[in-house]
A and B are shown apart, each in its own frame.
Chain A
């Protein structure tokens, strides 16, 4: 038996730094810091089994059809104009459609609506932008169309919030954002709405 020592020799910890360095490097390699970005959309609720189709009946003037065929060509149709179009035409068309500044009869009808903070407003909240795609449409084209639609709404909302609150939409308070959203609700439909009125 060795004689009991007064002082224990300290554990050599000089390699702990190396070990933790290795852990650090392992985490650096296996994890990613990149923030994912994307276009946020909300899908409609699943159809109820006994749902009436009547709720989908929309006047022709309230619908803007945006169709994409298998070749990726864009077709825009409202009550008066229709035809193939370039994707750059989509944003102004959607803005004009949703805004209906001059209350034209070919664009969506306007209603008086009471919105908190904004008071009585004359809004086109019954409008629908109907996006229809073919199974063969390239995803990229569809995405660009969605991007343009969201951009159109964002621009409208920005214009309104600057005019009413003096700031861009993203800097507004929650209740102000809600008011703007009620003024310009995003009604993008990907189901096929039936139409009545006008030719069948």
Chain B
């Protein structure tokens, strides 16, 4: 029996690969805080991923709890940060964007977070002129 010609198989796979590279996004950071985002009904999709930066708020993950305790932490990029560092974070994120006016900050915060932390972050965001924010949530019916 003549062998099947498989020379186009790599091209095929590469095409699938490129498709996936386009429609998916890199997983942003390794999470150091754990959170359950609230659920809501009036949600909007975050359309343009390129203008979105994430701020994570919640207690440290289980494996970090021994060192970091269990009080609420703010995570920017790959490390814990203080609320005032949000300003530098916003500026750094903005620098890499082409349409800076559309910058969106998405806050992924745990349901049990005390509002004090969120208020502090929001105050700093206001001062940094990052006025479009998004409270990350999951859809509920």
Contact = CB atoms under 8 A, between A and B. Distances in A.
A158 B137 CA distance: 23
B42 to A, nearest CB: 4
A38 B115 contact: no
A37 B139 contact: yes
Contacts of A32: 24-25, 27
Contacts, number: 145
A138 B35 CA distance: 13
A136 B6 contact: no
Nearest to B132: A42
A40 B122 CA distance: 13
B133 A43 contact: yes
Contacts of B106: 36, 38
Interface in B6-34: 6-7, 9-10, 13-14, 16-17, 20-21, 23-27
B46 interface: yes
A16 interface: yes
Interface stretch (A106-114, A139-147, A176-184): A139-147
Given A23-B17, A31-B26, A43 B136 contact: no
A13 B45 CA distance: 43
Interface string B77-114: 00000000000000000000000000010100111111
A13 B16 CA distance: 18
A88 B33 CA distance: 31
Q: What is the interface residue range for chain A against chain B?
A: 35 or more
Interface in A17-39: 17, 19-21, 23-24, 27-28, 30-33, 35-39
Interface residues of B, number: 52
A24 B11 CA distance: 12
Contacts of B110: 139
Given A43-B122, A46-B127, A135 B116 contact: yes
B125 interface: yes
Contacts of A151: 41-42
B13 A35 contact: no
A138 B114 contact: yes
* 4 nearest A-B pairs in the assembled complex, by CB-CB distance: A135-B116, A31-B24, A140-B111, A16-B10
22 contacts: A19-B10, A21-B13, A27-B24, A35-B45, A37-B43, A38-B137, A39-B134, A39-B135, A39-B137, A40-B133, A43-B122, A44-B131, A135-B115, A136-B114, A137-B114, A137-B115, A138-B111, A139-B38, A139-B111, A139-B112, A143-B111, A146-B135
